[in-house]
């Protein structure tokens, strides 16, 4: 039986195909359309999922949407009416969209399915809807390696829920309690994302990366004025400071007064104030997540915790929850945001609506390393490269790891395009840009000459799973780059007294360890453990690099530039390679060296095509 999950019409639309309970394909629409955070119906993602399994849309038994539009509309109406006449401008902008499309989503979806080849209502797939947090919870629990687990979902808002707790037992997933809109930890964090000049729904990770440069000077200000946090972690926001309920901005003038001025304008210089604000809201978020975790543990008694929702992408709070929380095991859905709702909607249908039995977990999770997107044959790769006039060399599989490890050890930057594309926001060695973490220049080179992004942004390490504890204070695996841990003391470089007195961005150029390119200013790193079982070629490359350098770590960042989605096709990869200062591109066992390529015509407007976020 085939179940197709759909996430769409807000941001990060995606499709996922579950066949007899197995996730066989999943992808975000932005990767195909090249529109970052594409919110539209994921037609190309659906087409990919069908092609991956050699199916047509008429072979699908159920199509499941990841939330319930009528419940969301109910929330919007109740919210606006309770605050009228405040918010009339926002209301007048939102209602035409709802009355034209979103309120009649069933008809809209049937129209899209018909365009994909559905013959008629009777022969086509049955259309179902799950609740938003139900989709998150299902995406977290059902692929997890646990037969019993507490499930905590935290995001901006679904229909009403912003935080929800569930209990997974076997095939059952039972809701326990929830916190409703407008009281939202995700919205609180996004308000500070907006206030510090980053884009909501995409810039939250920048706020997290900025935090270590600051001091937690505003923690009491936040706790005394903006949010009332109970001992059990439940909370209530003081809405007088926020404008997101009925306005067109996240914060208001009262919020500005509290923090001493208006929001930072995007693309203007960052000040110590923004750094301190980032550190403060990060600290508050971590405190709340730790309290919620303890409360959920006390209530449900399970030693396992599963996380989903946008807040679960905050890998710093995840790291603290793993280290300081009460749970023996924590598993996080790699596509924890709305894209992952497509997987959750399909799995909720299989296990909850159709009441299928869930197999006993066998130790690993059911996400297949999150390598669920398209892969390309050598014929497809060479056809695309030949059409672009590229010059390349085919290297024997056995020779490839040693060859690329050598160029990496010489501080070359390599575009690494291998196997199936990752599902979720992180590049995990399928569509990655990689480099030598021992280089003191690598972070600035990658940020300024390849990624075209802010200099303060840290890079993540990929490390051999079997050697992660040699370099990092982490107990267990982190295959999805969703845990932060500290570099071990023996690999750190002690700071001088003068360096200790530096503030803010001045800290950036002080090497903190023997692997400075992936060590953040607070000695932390966002870790990806690489496993032979899920990514043998990347594991082999790391092993060869370790043999040459005695370092089992590589810099790993997503294969894209700022404002552009991660590359999907060989053609996408080559264009990104030629438009940046990468030295090598490796697509499966095909190697391209930049000096060997034909002259690339500079597109002066290229960067202007993308939304800088």
CB 517 within 8 A of CB 443: yes
Q: Tokens 């599902």 identify what position?
A: 423
- For residues 377 and 76, the model is more confident at 377
CB 352 within 8 A of CB 173: yes
The mean per-residue pLDDT over the stretch 464-474 comes to 96
Q: For residues 554 and 568, what is the distance between their CA atoms, to the nearest angstrom?
A: 22
Give whole-number Cα distances, 471 to 372, 438, 493, 551, in Å: 29, 13, 13, 9
- Please name which of 298, 342, 328, 293 lies closest in space to residue 314, comparing C-alpha atoms: 293
The pLDDT confidence band at residue 121, using thresholds 50, 70 and 90, is low
SS3 584: strand
CB 134 within 8 A of CB 344: yes
Q: For residues 2 and 526, what is the distance between their CA atoms, to the nearest angstrom?
A: 36
- Please name which of 211, 204, 210, 195 lies closest in space to residue 254, comparing C-alpha atoms: 195
Q: For residues 87 and 243, what is the distance between their CA atoms, to the nearest angstrom?
A: 9
Tens digits of residue pLDDT in 13-27: 999 999 999 999 999
Q: For residues 130 and 139, what is the distance between their CA atoms, to the nearest angstrom?
A: 12
DSSP 361: P
Q: Which residues contact 169 (CB under 8 A, 6 or more apart)?
A: 147, 148
Q: For residues 270 and 439, what is the distance between their CA atoms, to the nearest angstrom?
A: 26
Q: Strand 329-332 to strand 524-530: parallel, antiparallel, or no bridges (unpaired)?
A: unpaired
Between 147-156, 258-267, 600-609, the lowest mean confidence (pLDDT) is in: 600-609
Q: For residues 253 and 235, what is the distance between their CA atoms, to the nearest angstrom?
A: 23
pLDDT score for 425:
96
Tens digits of residue pLDDT in 342-355: 999 999 999 999 99
The mean per-residue pLDDT over the stretch 351-377 comes to 96
Tens digits of residue pLDDT in 222-278: 999 999 999 999 999 999 999 998 788 999 999 999 999 999 999 899 999 999 999
Q: For residues 429 and 407, what is the distance between their CA atoms, to the nearest angstrom?
A: 17
What is the 3 state secondary structure string of 308-346?
Answer: ECHHHHCHHHHHHHHHHCCCCEEEECCCCCHHHHHHHHH
The mean per-residue pLDDT over the stretch 561-579 comes to 96
pLDDT of residue 97 exceeding 70, the answer is no
**What number of helices (H) and strands (E) belong to the chain?**
20, 21
Q: Tokens 């023997």 identify what position?
A: 514
The pLDDT confidence band at residue 128, using thresholds 50, 70 and 90, is very high
- For residues 300 and 507, the model is more confident at 300
- Please name which of 462, 478, 442, 461 lies closest in space to residue 523, comparing C-alpha atoms: 461
Tens digits of residue pLDDT in 391-438: 999 999 999 999 999 999 999 999 999 999 999 999 999 999 999 999
pLDDT of residue 88 exceeding 90, the answer is no
The pLDDT confidence band at residue 520, using thresholds 50, 70 and 90, is very high
Tokens for 562, please give them.
Answer: 């700022």
Q: Tokens 């014929």 identify what position?
A: 379
Q: For residues 100 and 310, what is the distance between their CA atoms, to the nearest angstrom?
A: 28
pLDDT of residue 36 exceeding 70, the answer is yes
- For residues 397 and 496, the model is more confident at 397
What is the 3 state secondary structure string of 35-56?
Answer: CCCCCCCCHHHHHHHHHHCCCC
Tokens for 434, please give them.
Answer: 């990689």
pLDDT score for 364:
92
The pLDDT confidence band at residue 124, using thresholds 50, 70 and 90, is confident
Between 59-63, 75-79, 122-126, 535-539, the lowest mean confidence (pLDDT) is in: 75-79
pLDDT of residue 612 exceeding 50, the answer is no
Q: Beta partners for 530?
A: 464
pLDDT of residue 500 exceeding 90, the answer is no
Q: What domains are there in the chain, each with its CATH number?
A: 2-144+335-362 (3.30.420.40), 180-331 (3.30.420.40), 378-609 (3.90.870.20)
Burial group, residue 172, by CB count within 10 angstroms (0-12, 13-18, 19+): middle
Q: For residues 542 and 523, what is the distance between their CA atoms, to the nearest angstrom?
A: 22
pTM of the complete model: 0.94
The mean per-residue pLDDT over the stretch 319-333 comes to 97
Give whole-number Cα distances, 587 to 385, 428, 449, 577, in Å: 10, 15, 21, 11
CB 486 within 8 A of CB 523: yes
pLDDT score for 610:
43
Q: Beta partners for 345?
A: none
Tens digits of residue pLDDT in 581-593: 999 999 999 999 9
Between 69-73, 307-311, 523-527, the lowest mean confidence (pLDDT) is in: 69-73
- Please name which of 199, 200, 191 lies closest in space to residue 256, comparing C-alpha atoms: 191
pLDDT score for 600:
87
pLDDT score for 89:
63
CB 554 within 8 A of CB 435: yes
The pLDDT confidence band at residue 145, using thresholds 50, 70 and 90, is very high
DSSP 472: B
pLDDT score for 447:
85
Tens digits of residue pLDDT in 37-83: 999 999 999 999 999 999 999 999 999 999 998 787 677 777 766 66
Tokens for 95, please give them.
Answer: 């209602």
pLDDT score for 122:
66
Highest mean pLDDT among 50-64, 119-133, 593-607: 50-64
Q: What is the mean pLDDT of the chain?
A: 93
Q: Tokens 């403060």 identify what position?
A: 280
Tens digits of residue pLDDT in 157-172: 999 999 999 999 999 9
Q: What percent of the chain has pLDDT over 90?
A: 81
- H-assigned helices in 84-148: 88-100, 105-115, 132-141
CB 527 within 8 A of CB 554: no
DSSP 242: B
The pLDDT confidence band at residue 137, using thresholds 50, 70 and 90, is very high
The pLDDT confidence band at residue 94, using thresholds 50, 70 and 90, is low
């Amino acid at each position: 039986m085939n179940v197709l999950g759909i996430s769409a019409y807000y941001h990060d639309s995606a499709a996922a195909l579950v066949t007899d309970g197995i996730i066989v394909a999943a992808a975000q629409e932005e990767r195909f359309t090249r529109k970052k955070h594409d919110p539209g119906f994921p037609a190309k993602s659906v087409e990919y999922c069908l092609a991956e399994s050699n199916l047509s849309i008429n072979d699908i038994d159920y199509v499941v949407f990841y939330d319930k539009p009528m419940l969301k509309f109910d929330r919007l109406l109740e919210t606006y009416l309770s605050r009228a006449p405040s918010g009339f401008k926002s209301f007048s902008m939102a209602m035409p969209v709802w009355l034209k499309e979103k309120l009649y989503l069933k008809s809209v979806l049937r129209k899209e399915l018909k365009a994909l080849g559905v013959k008629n209502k009777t022969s086509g797939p049955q259309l179902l809807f799950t609740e938003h947090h139900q989709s998150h919870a299902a995406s977290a629990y059902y692929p997890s390696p646990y037969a019993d687990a507490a499930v905590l979902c935290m995001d901006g808002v679904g229909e009403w829920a912003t935080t929800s707790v569930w209990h997974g037992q076997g095939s059952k997933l039972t809701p326990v309690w929830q916190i409703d809109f407008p009281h939202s930890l995700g919205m609180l964090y996004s308000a500070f994302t907006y206030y510090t000049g980053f884009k909501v729904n995409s810039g939250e990770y920048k706020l997290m990366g900025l935090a270590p440069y600051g001091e937690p000077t505003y923690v009491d200000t936040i706790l005394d004025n903006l949010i009332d946090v109970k001992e059990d972690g439940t909370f209530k926001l003081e809405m007088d400071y926020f404008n997101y309920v009925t306005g067109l901005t996240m914060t208001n003038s009262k919020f500005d007064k509290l923090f001493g001025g208006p929001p930072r304008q995007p693309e203007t210089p960052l000040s110590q104030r923004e750094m301190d604000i980032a550190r403060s809201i990060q600290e508050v978020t971590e405190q709340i997540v730790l309290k919620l975790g303890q409360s959920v543990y006390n209530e449900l008694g399970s030693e396992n915790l599963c996380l989903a929702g946008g807040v679960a992408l905050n890998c710093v709070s995840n790291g603290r929850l793993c280290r300081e929380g009460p749970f023996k095991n924590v598993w996080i859905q790699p596509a924890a945001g709305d894209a992952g709702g497509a997987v959750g909607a399909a799995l909720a249908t299989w296990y909850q609506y159709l009441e299928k039995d869930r197999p006993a977990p066998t130790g690993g999770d059911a996400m297949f390393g999150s390598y669920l997107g398209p892969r390309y044959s050598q014929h497809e790769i060479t056809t695309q490269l030949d059409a672009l006039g590229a010059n390349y060399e085919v290297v024997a599989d056995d020779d490839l790891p040693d060859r690329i490890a050598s160029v990496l050890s010489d501080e070359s930057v390599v575009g690494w395009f291998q196997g199936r594309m990752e599902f979720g926001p992180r590049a995990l060695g399928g569509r990655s840009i990689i480099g030598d973490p021992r280089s003191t220049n690598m972070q600035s080179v990658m940020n300024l000459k390849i990624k075209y992004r802010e200099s303060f942004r840290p890079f993540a390490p990929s490390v051999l799973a079997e050697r992660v504890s040699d370099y990092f204070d982490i107990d267990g695996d982190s295959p999805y780059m969703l845990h932060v841990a500290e570099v071990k003391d023996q690999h750190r470089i002690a700071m001088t007294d003068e360096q200790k007195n530096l503030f803010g961005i001045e800290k950036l150029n002080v090497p903190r360890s023997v692997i400075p390119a992936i060590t953040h200013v607070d000695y932390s790193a966002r870790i990806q453990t690489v496993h032979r079982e899920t990514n043998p070629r990347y594991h082999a490359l790391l092993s060869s690099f370790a043999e040459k350098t005695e370092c089992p770590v590589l810099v790993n960042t997503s294969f894209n530039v700022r404002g552009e989605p991660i590359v999907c096709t060989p053609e996408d990869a080559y264009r990104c390679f030629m438009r940046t200062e990468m030295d090598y591109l490796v697509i499966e066992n095909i190697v391209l060296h930049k000096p060997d390529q034909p002259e690339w015509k500079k597109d002066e407007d290229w960067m202007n095509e993308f939304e800088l976020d």
